[in-house]
Amino acid sequence: MTIPIRLQEVRLAQIDLPEAAAEMATAPDLDRLAASLLAVGLINPPWLKPQPGGDRFGVVTGARRLQAAADLGWQEITVRLVPAGTPDLYCLLVHVMDNAFTREFNLREQADLAVRLLSHGDRETVVGRYLPYLGLPPSQAFLSRLIKTAGLEAPWQQLAASGRLCLTAAARLADWDPEARAAAWPFWDSLRLSQSKQEELLDQVAILARREGISPAAVLAQDELRRALTEPDRTPQERVQAVRRHLYAQVYPRLSAAREAFDTALARLGWKRSPRLRLHPPAVFEGPDFQLEIKFRDAPELQQLLAEIARLTQADGFDDLTRQ
Residue 267, pLDDT score: 83
Q: pTM score, two decimals?
A: 0.80
Q: pLDDT for 13-71, tens place per residue?
A: 999 988 665 454 446 678 888 999 999 999 999 999 999 987 899 999 999 999 999 99
The per-residue DSSP string of 173-196 comes to: HHHS-HHHHHHHHHHHHHS---HH
Q: Using alpha carbons only, what angle is made at residue 195 by residues 194 and 199, rounded to the nearest 5 degrees?
A: 115
Is 159:107 a contact under the CB 8 Å cutoff?
A: no
Is 252:211 a contact under the CB 8 Å cutoff?
A: no
Q: Could you give the CA distance from residue 42 to residue 219 in angstroms, rounded to a whole number?
A: 53
Q: pLDDT for 208-253, tens place per residue?
A: 999 999 999 999 999 999 999 999 899 999 999 999 999 999 998 8
